[in-house]
Structure formats: structure tokens, C-alpha cells
């Protein structure tokens, strides 16, 4: 049972445009959501997070939106840069477990 | 801050031998450490959760006798893959948390069992 899903395995955007990565979850107990960036053969790097009491969190070029009713979150990167090319994982957790459940990842390619 | 290291970064071993992977939080004391496994082009799968001084909690389907986890201090956790087989070849990643929901990940260890 995949509790966190990233249905798009890959995304390609032009430099300067917006990148939108999507994530869906099924467990209503999740109350905290995170996005990680990962390069091959490296550990994930934390990007941005959002609590379930919010619907938006912004940090520089990165904004995460949360739609609790739809159990959907998205990561917006604007403007996209070639250095953003990587695999992006969304993850979810509930306060009572502390365990992170990861999605399958989306490979983002930003073309110069 | 919040740096997590892993050693070794990659290891090749023969089938039947055991391999130990270390995970250290360098600039903070981690209340909890987690071990993940990632197969190529797949998600990170949580293997176990460990708290300092207590037994690790393993996820369903993870053999605790095969994947031995020791969390002897607030800055060090080890994962030992016992009697390794080729199917254990994978990318193993640890993470550490101080408190709350954010986890800081190590760089990972590539294990190849021949």
C-alpha cells in the first residue's frame, strides 16, 4: 500500500520557467510533509516542509502548497535553474510515529 | 549544522560475509536514528528506527537477525548486514533527528555483494 505517491516519474522544464512537482497521500493521520532533493549516490537533502495546519510555505524559489481535503501537495520551483535538476521526493509523517514515508520520486530536468 | 556522516561510502563484499555501516551525527545529538534502503530508481524504504540505548524497531518484512542495528550513543548508530547475499546489494541511508519531524540524512553507503 503506497501511502505517498508521486505519479509523475519525470518532468522536464525550460530554465526560467516554473517547475511543479505533485504528491498525493492516503493516510489522513499524516500531519507534516517534507520535500527532499536527491542526487544519485547521495543522501537526500531537505528542501522545505509544511505542517498540516498551513496551506502554503515559501522559502526563496521554493513554495509548497498543501490541500488537505484533496490529500495533495505540490512543490513549485520558480524560476527553475539547471542546478535544480535532481530527483525530488516528497515525504509524510505523523507526529505520533515520527517515521517518514517517501514517495517514489520525480526526476526533474531543467534545460538551459 | 545538522551534519550526518556515513562510513564507508561504498563497500564490496563476498557473499556470506558481514558488513558494518556507521552513521554519525557530527554536530548534534540525535534522539532517534533511522535506516533506509533504496533500490535503483525506487523510493527510500524505512528499515528500522533506533533510539539510543534501546532495541531498534524494525519495519514489517525486515529481518532483524539479518540487519543488526546498534545505537550505542546519541551520535552513533551502526547497521550490520550479516551473511550478506547479492540481493542485499543496495544503497543504505541513515538519518538522524533531534526532535520533531525533520530528519537529516547521511550521504549513503553503496553495498555490493558479489
A77: confidence class by pLDDT, cuts 50, 70, 90: very high
**CB neighbourhood size of B68 (10 A):** 16
d(CA A30, CA B8): 34
A72: confidence class by pLDDT, cuts 50, 70, 90: very high
d(CA B74, CA B28): 8
Nearest C-alpha neighbor of A59 from the set A48, A50, A51:
A48
pLDDT at A97: 78
For residue B6, the chain A residues in CB contact (below 8 A) are 43
B70 touches chain A (CB under 8 A): no
d(CA A64, CA A51): 10
Instruction: Enter the C-alpha cell of residue B103.
Output: 530528519
DSSP per residue over A18-86, as a string? -EEEEEEE--TT--EEEEEEE-TTS--EEEEEEETT-SEEEETTEEEEEETTTTEEEEEESS--GGG-E
Q: Between A10 and B41, where is the model more confident?
A: A10
pLDDT in tens, B55-107: 899 999 999 999 999 988 889 999 999 999 999 999 999 999 877 667 899 99
Average per-residue pLDDT for chain A:
94
**Does residue A10 contact residue A106 with C-beta atoms inside 8 Å?**
yes
**Does residue B97 contact residue B74 with C-beta atoms inside 8 Å?**
no
Q: Residue A102 and residue B44: Cβ atoms within 8 Å? A: yes
Amino acid at each position: 500500500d503506497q501511502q505517498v505517491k508521486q505519479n509523475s516519474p519525470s518532468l522536464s522544464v525550460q530554465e526560467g520557467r516554473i517547475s511543479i512537482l505533485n504528491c498525493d497521500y492516503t493516510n489522513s493521520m499524516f500531519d507534516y510533509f517534507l520535500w527532499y532533493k536527491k542526487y544519485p549516490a547521495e543522501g537526500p537533502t531537505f528542501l522545505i516542509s509544511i505542517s498540516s495546519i498551513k496551506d502554503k510555505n515559501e522559502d526563496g524559489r521554493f513554495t509548497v502548497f498543501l490541500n488537505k481535503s484533496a490529500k495533495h501537495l505540490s512543490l513549485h520551483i520558480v524560476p527553475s535553474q539547471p542546478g535544480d535538476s535532481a530527483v525530488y521526493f516528497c515525504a509524510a509523517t505523523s507526529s505520533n510515529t515520527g517515521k517518514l514515508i517517501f514517495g517514489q520520486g520525480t526526476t526533474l530536468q531543467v534545460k538551459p | 549544522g545538522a551534519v550526518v556522516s556515513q562510513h564507508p561510502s561504498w563497500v564490496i563484499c563476498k557473499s556470506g560475509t558481514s558488513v558494518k555501516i556507521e552513521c554519525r551525527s557530527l554536530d548534534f545529538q540525535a534522539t532517534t536514528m533511522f535506516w533506509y534502503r533504496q533500490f535503483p530508481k525506487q523510493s527510500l524504504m524505512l528499515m528500522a528506527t533506533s533510539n539510543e540505548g534501546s532495541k531498534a524497531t524494525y519495519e514489517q518484512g525486515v529481518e532483524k537477525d539479518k540487519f543488526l542495528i546498534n545505537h550505542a550513543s546519541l551520535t552513533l548508530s551502526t547497521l550490520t548486514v550479516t551473511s550478506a547475499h547479492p540481493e542485499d546489494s543496495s544503497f543504505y541511508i541513515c538519518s538522524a533527528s533531534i526532535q520533531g519531524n525533520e530528519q537529516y540524512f547521511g550521504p549513503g553507503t553503496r553495498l555490493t555483494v558479489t
